Chain A
Amino acid sequence: MNNPQLDADGRLRHLLSIEGLPKKILNQILDTAESFVGVAEREVKKVPLLRGKTVCNLFFENSTRTRTTFEIAAKRLSADVISLNVNTSSQSKGETILDTVDNLIAMHADMFVVRHSQSGAAHFIAKHVPDHIHVINAGDGRHSHPTQGLLDIFTIRKYKPDLHNLRVAIVGDVLHSRVARSEIHALTTLGVPEIRVIAPKTLLPAQVDKLGVHIFHDMQAGLKDADVVMMLRLQNERMNGAMLPSAQEYYKTYGLTQDKLSLAKPDAIVLHPGPMNRGVEIDSGVADGAQSVILPQVTYGIAIRMAVMAMLAGGQATTSQTSGTQS
Chain B
Amino acid sequence: MKIHIKNGRVLDPKNNIDSKLDVFIAAGKIVALGEMPAGFVANQTIDASNLIVCPGLVDLSARLREPGDEYKATLVSELQAAVTGGVTSLACPPDTDPVLDEPGLVEMLKHRAKQLNLAHVYPLGALTRQLQGNALSEMGALREAGCVGFSQANIAITDTQVLWRTMEYAATFGFTLFLHAEEPFLAKDGVAHDGEVASRLGLKGIPSAAETLALASILRIAKETGARVHINRLSTAEGVDMIREAKKQNPNISCDVSANQLHLTEHDIGYFNSNCHLKPPLRTQRDKEALSAGLKDGTIDAICSDHTPVDDDAKLAPFAEAEIGATGLELLLALTLKWAQQENVSLLRAIKLVSQTSAQILGIPAGDLSINSDADICIFNAAEYWKVSPGALKSQGKNTPFNGLEMAGKVKTTLIHGQVVYQS
Residues of A with Cβ closer than 8 Å to B? Answer: 1, 4, 19, 96-98, 116, 118-121, 123-124, 128, 140-144, 178, 181, 205-208, 210-211
B172 near A: Cβ within 8 Å?
A: no
Residue of B nearest to A175 (CB): B199
| Pairs A–B under 8 Å by Cβ, sample size 27 | A96-B317, A97-B318, A116-B318, A118-B318, A118-B319, A118-B320, A118-B321, A119-B201, A119-B319, A119-B320, A121-B318, A123-B272, A123-B318, A124-B319, A128-B316, A141-B202, A141-B318, A143-B201, A144-B202, A205-B198, A206-B196, A206-B198, A206-B205, A207-B195, A207-B199, A210-B200, A211-B199
Enumerate B182-214 residues with CB–CB distance to A below 8 Å: 194-196, 198-205, 207
A124 and B205: CB pair below 8 A?
no
A1 and B199: CB pair below 8 A?
no
Contact residues in B for A208 (Cβ distance below 8 Å): 199
Contact residues in A for B205 (Cβ distance below 8 Å): 205-206
Residue of B nearest to A3 (CB): B271
Residue of B nearest to A176 (CB): B202
A97 and B199: CB pair below 8 A?
no
A206 and B202: CB pair below 8 A?
no
A1 and B271: CB pair below 8 A?
yes
Q: Binding site of B, secondary structure by majority: helix, strand, loop or mixed?
A: loop
Of listed A118, A121, A123, A210, residue having the most chain B CB within 10 A: A118
Contact residues in B for A116 (Cβ distance below 8 Å): 318
Of listed B194, B204, B271, B320, residue having the most chain A CB within 10 A: B271
Q: Could you tell me the distance in whole angstroms from the C-beta of B201 to the nearest C-beta in chain A?
A: 6
Q: How far is the CA of A211 from the CA of B199 in the complex (A)?
A: 9
Q: Could you tell me the distance in whole angstroms from the C-beta of B194 to the nearest C-beta in chain A?
A: 5
Contact residues in A for B195 (Cβ distance below 8 Å): 206-207
Q: How far is the CA of A231 from the CA of B200 in the complex (A)?
A: 19
B270 near A: Cβ within 8 Å?
A: yes
Q: Could you tell me the distance in whole angstroms from the C-beta of A267 to the nearest C-beta in chain B?
A: 32
Say yes or no: A120-B201 contact (C-beta < 8 A), given A96-B317, A206-B195, A206-B207. Answer: yes
Q: How far is the CA of A295 from the CA of B319 in the complex (A)?
A: 35
Enumerate B18-47 residues with CB–CB distance to A below 8 Å: none
Contact residues in A for B198 (Cβ distance below 8 Å): 205-206
B320 and A120: CB pair below 8 A?
yes
Contact residues in B for A143 (Cβ distance below 8 Å): 201-203
B271 and A119: CB pair below 8 A?
no
Contact residues in A for B271 (Cβ distance below 8 Å): 1, 4, 120, 123
Contact residues in B for A121 (Cβ distance below 8 Å): 318
Contact residues in A for B316 (Cβ distance below 8 Å): 96, 98, 128
A124 and B199: CB pair below 8 A?
no
Residue of A nearest to B198 (CB): A206
Q: Could you tell me the distance in whole angstroms from the C-beta of B68 to the nearest C-beta in chain A?
A: 20
Contact residues in B for A96 (Cβ distance below 8 Å): 313, 316-317
A1 and B270: CB pair below 8 A?
yes
Contact residues in B for A141 (Cβ distance below 8 Å): 202-203, 318, 320
Residue in contact with A181 in the complex, picked from B196, B202, B313, B318, CB distance below 8 Å: B202
Enumerate B247-302 residues with CB–CB distance to A below 8 Å: 270-272
Q: How far is the CA of A210 from the CA of B200 in the complex (A)?
A: 9
Say yes or no: A210-B319 contact (C-beta < 8 A), given A1-B270, A4-B271, A123-B271. Answer: no
Contact residues in B for A119 (Cβ distance below 8 Å): 201-203, 272, 318-320
Contact residues in B for A118 (Cβ distance below 8 Å): 317-321
Residue of A nearest to B320 (CB): A118
B196 and A124: CB pair below 8 A?
no
Contact residues in A for B196 (Cβ distance below 8 Å): 206-207, 210
Q: Could you tell me the distance in whole angstroms from the C-beta of A186 to the nearest C-beta in chain B?
A: 14
Contact residues in B for A19 (Cβ distance below 8 Å): 200
B202 and A142: CB pair below 8 A?
yes
Q: How far is the CA of A89 from the CA of B195 in the complex (A)?
A: 36
13 further A-B contacts with Cβ under 8 Å, apart from A123-B318, A206-B196, are A96-B317, A98-B316, A118-B317, A118-B319, A119-B201, A124-B319, A141-B318, A141-B320, A142-B203, A142-B204, A143-B203, A206-B198, A207-B196
Contact residues in A for B194 (Cβ distance below 8 Å): 206
The 8 A CB mask of B133-155 against A (1 = contact, 0 = none) is 00000000000000000000000
B202 and A124: CB pair below 8 A?
no
Q: How far is the CA of A315 from the CA of B395 in the complex (A)?
A: 45
Q: How far is the CA of A50 from the CA of B182 in the complex (A)?
A: 52
Residue of A nearest to B284 (CB): A207
Contact residues in B for A98 (Cβ distance below 8 Å): 316
Residue in contact with B318 in the complex, picked from A124, A144, A207, CB distance below 8 Å: A124
Q: How far is the CA of A121 from the CA of B199 in the complex (A)?
A: 16
Q: How far is the CA of A121 from the CA of B319 in the complex (A)?
A: 8
Q: Could you tell me the distance in whole angstroms from the C-beta of A110 to the nearest C-beta in chain B?
A: 23
Q: How far is the CA of A61 from the CA of B373 in the complex (A)?
A: 61
Residue in contact with B317 in the complex, picked from A97, A142, A211, CB distance below 8 Å: A97
Say yes or no: A210-B199 contact (C-beta < 8 A), given A98-B316, A119-B320. Answer: yes
Q: Could you tell me the distance in whole angstroms from the C-beta of A72 to the nearest C-beta in chain B?
A: 27
Of listed A4, A97, A143, residue having the most chain B CB within 10 A: A143
Residue in contact with A140 in the complex, picked from B200, B202, B317, CB distance below 8 Å: B202
Contact residues in B for A140 (Cβ distance below 8 Å): 202, 318
Q: Could you tell me the distance in whole angstroms from the C-beta of A115 to the nearest C-beta in chain B?
A: 12
Enumerate B209-243 residues with CB–CB distance to A below 8 Å: none
